[in-house]
């Protein structure tokens, strides 16, 4: 592999060599970011109080490690354009599809919201839509209520992820499996696994 790369580089002119090296550096950066997200999510599985459902997510995490290559550039671009802001990555898995990759991915930073959905489990390609966190989001209600709450919790404490039962439950028969991964400006990544997020009003009723 190394010999092949050396031959390719020798045949290039200076401009092409620079482009080639930049692409290599970019791919390395994406690979490192992917590994850090994966590492954080595996730690979230270990720390989860929802042991039965979280431990069963190993196949899904392996799939998503590859699937995430489709949108690492989006995450990287958003972070470069907003270097002082925290990014929230949400990867949602369908509860009836065992061992499948996330069918819905959401990326949030500042007032930006990017949504990626698979068009089918056969092609596994994501359709990308750009949104803005205003209007319906600011009105409250259940629309993206998990993100609204998480943003407040993240602003208050670095330990927002230590008690997943504060936000939801595994005593549910539908819903999905979700990983919330927060990427801080410092490059620190913290994740939390959630079986079923519960709206605040339901939690208050139970209390």
In the chain, what percentage of residues exceed pLDDT 90?
A: 62
Examine residue 104 and state whether it is found in any structural domain, yes or no.
Answer: yes
Judged by DSSP in three states, 142 sits in coil
Classify 102 as helix, strand or coil: coil
Q: How many domains in the chain? A: 1
> Is 6 within the bounds of a domain?
no
CA angle 127, 133, 134 (to 5 degrees): 130
Q: Which domain holds residue 130?
A: 16-206
Taking the C-alpha atoms of residue 197 and residue 182, their distance in angstroms, rounded to an integer, is 17
What are the b/e assignments for 178-195, b being 16+ CB within 10 Å?
Answer: bbbbbbeeeeebbbbbbb
- What does pTM read for this prediction? 0.85
Q: Is the residue at 168 inside a domain?
A: yes
Integer-rounded Cα Rg, in Å, for the chain is: 19
Per-residue pLDDT reduced to its tens digit, 8-52: 545 555 545 455 444 444 565 788 999 999 999 999 999 999 988
pLDDT digits (tens, 9 = 90+) for 59-90: 999 999 999 999 999 999 999 999 999 999 99
CB within 8 Å of 90: residues ≥ 6 apart: 104, 105, 106, 107, 108, 146, 147, 178, 179, 180, 181
pLDDT for res 26: 55
Find the helix or strand (DSSP H, E) in which 66 lies: helix 58-67
Q: Would residue 10 count as lying in a domain?
A: no
In a domain, 38, yes or no: yes
């Amino acid at each position: 592999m190394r010999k092949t790369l050396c031959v390719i580089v020798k045949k290039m002119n200076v401009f092409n060599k620079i482009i080639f090296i930049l692409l290599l550096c970019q791919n390395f950066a994406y690979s490192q970011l992917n590994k850090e997200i994966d590492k954080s999510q595996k730690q979230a599985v270990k720390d989860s109080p929802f042991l039965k459902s979280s431990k069963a997510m190993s196949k899904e995490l392996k799939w998503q490690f590859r699937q995430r290559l489709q949108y690492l550039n989006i995450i990287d671009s958003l972070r470069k354009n907003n270097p002082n802001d925290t990014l929230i990555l949400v990867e949602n898995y369908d509860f009836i599809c065992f061992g499948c990759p996330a069918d819905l991915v959401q990326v949030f930073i500042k007032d930006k919201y990017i949504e990626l959905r698979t068009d089918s489990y056969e092609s596994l390609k994501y359709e990308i839509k750009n949104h803005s966190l205003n209007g319906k989001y600011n009105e409250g209600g259940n629309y993206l209520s998990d993100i609204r709450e998480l943003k407040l919790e993240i602003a208050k404490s670095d330990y927002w992820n230590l008690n997943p039962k504060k936000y939801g439950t595994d005593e549910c028969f539908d819903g999905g499996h979700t990983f919330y991964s927060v990427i801080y400006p410092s490059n620190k990544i913290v994740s939390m696994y959630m079986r079923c997020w519960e709206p605040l009003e339901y939690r208050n009723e139970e209390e």
